[in-house]
Structure 1
């Protein structure tokens, strides 16, 4: 991010007077490093300020943290340019974190849930959200094309869907299956009753989503069945009383052939869209690595193909300063994208940025099992998959063509590249989202 910033006097709505509006705030004795960042600020200088603040918080130096926040507050603006808008969300996350070490700051919500209030979307609004930029549609397109190829010759298909977008991926696949020359297969989709408490959030249940899919499949003459594993009511109780770790541990207990009612004559597809990052990879005494346990469980189900799509950045470090550096240099992408085609005061833009702010808050404000955003890069994920016993599947030329056609519908800054067997969505040459396909060892015949 090289855009120059001029100091902005726009204050954050969450601004706390005890942090910024003390009687002497205008004459806070700044260090030489901070004084050098006053005036015209670019992305590198903002990053330096964020790291100063993080170091101060890690060493419990509240005075220095307040000084840096005061400077950042004069830069941040929720309606400014992309750097200013991104800075406003980082500042909010730092204030949230600081409230635990600054006695003068009122207590905030530190249950692991965001302090950012988000309204629930309708299904129609969710469709517009997904279509806004190809952040999700890239993975949908690459995965659906690979699935279509993998299930050729099968009259029954069972998709075990782990995603955060409420099955928005499947109408396009259902439509493609309806046009299959040999006729559509019988399609079954199974989703877990619990999902990560992250945006996008909708005002309908998983069962209602399933009914809508069933109606669409009926319209397209595709035999269809929809299942939710786990008790939805019990899951609601879990979400209030137990951590995400406990919820996911409970969900894993359902990943058995008997519980899923798997059939020998159906092609099992396992779809993971922006999901693995929410499975903890911490290995502590008395616990186990949820992420690797999940991968071992799904490998044991002998799937026809496994799709893994996620954002291509490594934000799993234990160090706060490392997470800030990686997060700041990655999450400028969606802010820059939205700047290209939405007005600064667009409510749609602000809501989308609010969802990114939700992510920033969890990455910066929380530690331990309360920090549920544990994203790892495509290269790191690929090595994890290989270590567990999966083989990568290259995407075919037809898939690449379909993805390119999709990107042609969006702004010219979007692109795609191949790295080994990964497809990577790029913005102005910077990696943003990766898509991968896998089979368990022993299914090499599919690769060939």
Structure 2
């Protein structure tokens, strides 16, 4: 079974590169033969690790042999393991083209063309599985409680979901017993070039939010942190570039530029954001990374609350084999969840999986500053927050009830648990997304 890996919108056809897959099955090493005929998830993982090891040792022949086997397993319209394998194979080919481009006969350029969604499409994307909505719900509930009694609220929003979180909060604020506060939302001028991508500018998003807030009688103001060196046209730089303007952004996170006001409750919202801030130390080990510098800066702004939500997996490691193992066993979750309610040939499912494939390609195919997916687990993030001078804020019972109500709208495999200071979204018992809330140490109620 020779398959074509279908991406979105432009697929990469493996048949166009026959030199990768012209090795007969009989030439596989004994270690690989042990997996043939029993290609479950564990064996697929072993094959991926064999391929990675071969690439790291420049063993082109073995890499080609393993890719031949993987290509006979991979299918973009098969079961979850087959679909996931197709994206790992693509990522390994992308990596191989950089290791030995002549031998692999592949041009090495990424063929994943990321689609731009309309606002309506983005809403459907967010609602598909609770991957994003879990964080929205937990964060909004914690924010709502933290700003009780405040007549003015300023949210500094660092997120990849283009303010999809805020209509629900605006609606809740409109019903507040003491009346809605005056709400101000500020977003950065740039963001990481990762899905989901929107086909309208940040200003247009702000206009739409403003119209909704006006309809709900919530006084509203929307600001984009200005930067003359970055276009707000909605166009993003490619993933091959290491310049994401984070240093420029951090230089503007100060009370003057943000126009912070003494009568406002400041909220810092980080949704799937911190992982894209580089964690390497520039110069000596004593120099803070951009990730730690960001936390130090926002602590200095004296926020009323900081909410941090991200995927609960540790992918911020240098070892390729460790990343493959962790990534394969973690990103199985959305592939398996989609299997429960969408047909195998569903375009919505294929597009969603293609966005996950973008992440896999960056995690596996790139190194150094070009690898921008540097996720850390909730446990490690919590320790980082404590080291940065933050104290955790427990989620109240009302938040727990709201999250449980949200999960009732989705498949029965989704669940939630408390783990130390975190709320964790689970799929069939496996951690997927964590939510945490923090205040600068010494500012606890």
| CA 1:221–1:233: 2 relative to 1, 3 Å | farther
Q: Which runs of 5+ in 1 are unaligned?
A: 1-7
Given that residues 134 and 403 in structure 2 are in contact (C-alpha distance below 8 angstroms), is that contact kept between their aligned partners in structure 1?
Answer: yes
Q: State which drifts further: 63-72 or 235-244.
A: 235-244
Q: TM-score scaled by structure 2? A: 0.94
- 3-state secondary structure, aligned to 1:315: coil
Question: What is the match of residue 387 of structure 1?
Answer: 387
Aligned to 1:281: 279
Using the alignment, how far apart are the partners of 2:354 and 2:54 within structure 1?
A: 26
Structure-2 separation of matches of 1:434 and 1:138: 9
Q: Deviations over 1:322-373 (max 9, x none)?
A: 0000000100000000000000000000000001000000000000010000
Specify every segment of 5 or more residues in structure 2 that has no aligned partner in the other structure, as ranges.
6-11
Match of 1:258 among 253, 256, 259: 256
User: What secondary structure does 2:50 align onto?
Assistant: helix
Q: How far apart are 1:28 and its partner, in Å?
A: 5.8
Please give the secondary structure, in 2, of the residue aligned with 1:100: helix
Q: Which residue of 2 aligns with 1:30?
A: 28
- 1:327–1:145 distance in 2 versus 1, CA, 3 Å: same
2:296 aligned partner: 296
User: Quick check: 1:199–1:355 contact (8 Å CA) kept in 2?
Assistant: yes
Indicate if the aligned counterparts of 1:11 and 1:74 stay in contact, CA closer than 8 A.
Answer: no
Assess if the C-alpha contact under 8 Å between 2:17 and 2:106 holds in 1: no
Asked whether the 8 Å contact 2:91–2:361 carries over to 1, the reply is: yes
From the superposition, tell whether residues 427 and 252 of structure 1 become closer, same or farther in structure 2 (CA, over 3 Å): same
CA–CA distance in structure 1, aligned partners of residues 144 and 19 of structure 2: 55
Residue 174 of structure 2 is aligned with which of 171, 178, 189? 178
Q: For residues 361 and 346 of structure 1, what CA distance do their matches in structure 2 show?
A: 22
Taking the aligned partners of 1:340 and 1:116, their CA distance within structure 2 comes to: 26
Partner of 1:285, secondary structure, is coil
Residue in structure 2 matched with residue 5 of structure 1 by the alignment: none
Q: Which of 89, 94, 97 is equivalent to 2:95?
A: 97
**Residue of structure 1 equivalent to 2:3:** 10
Segment of structure 1 superposing worse, 40-49 or 280-289: 280-289
In 1, distance between residues paired with 2:18 and 2:288?
A: 42
How many Å separate the matches in 2 of 1:126 and 1:161? Answer: 18
Q: 1:81 to 1:170 in 2, by over 3 A?
A: same
Whole-angstrom distance in 2 between the partners of 1:125 and 1:193: 23
Shift of 1:235: 4.2
Q: Name the Cα RMSD after superposition.
A: 1.7
2:217 corresponds, among 221, 233, 252, to: 221
Measured in 2, the distance between the counterparts of 1:121 and 1:86 equals 23
Q: Give the direction of change, closer, same or farther, for the CA distance of 1:353–1:330 in structure 2 (3 Å limit).
A: same
For residues 21 and 200 of structure 1, what CA distance do their matches in structure 2 show?
Answer: 33
> 2:21 touches 2:64 (CA, 8 Å); kept in 1?
no
Q: Residues 233-274 of structure 1, C-alpha deviation per residue, up to 9 Å, x if partnerless? A: 624699479944551111111100000000011000000000
CA 1:74–1:232: 2 relative to 1, 3 Å: farther
In 2, are the aligned partners of 1:151 and 1:157 still within 8 Å (CA)?
Answer: yes
User: How many residues align structurally?
Assistant: 432
Any runs of at least 4 consecutive aligned residues in structure 1 with deviations exceeding 6 A, and if so which?
Answer: none
Say yes or no: does 1:161 pair with 2:154.
Answer: no
CA distance in structure 2 between the aligned counterparts of 1:218 and 1:233, rounded to whole angstroms: 32
- Could you list the per-position Cα deviations for residues 391-417 of structure 1 after superposition, in whole angstroms to 9, with x for gaps in the alignment? 000000000000000000000000000
CA distance in 2, matches of 1:380, 1:323: 16
Of 204, 211, 220, the residue aligned with 2:207 is 211
Distance (whole Å) between structure 1 residues aligned to residue 89 and residue 290 of structure 2: 31
Q: What is the rounded CA distance, in whole Å, between the counterparts of 1:239 and 1:436 in structure 2?
A: 30
8 Å Cα contact 2:25-2:69 kept in structure 1: no
Q: CA deviation at 1:29?
A: 1.5
Distance of aligned partners of 1:332 and 1:238 in 2 relative to their CA distance in 1, 3 Å threshold: closer
Following superposition, the deviation at residue 420 of structure 1 comes to 1.4
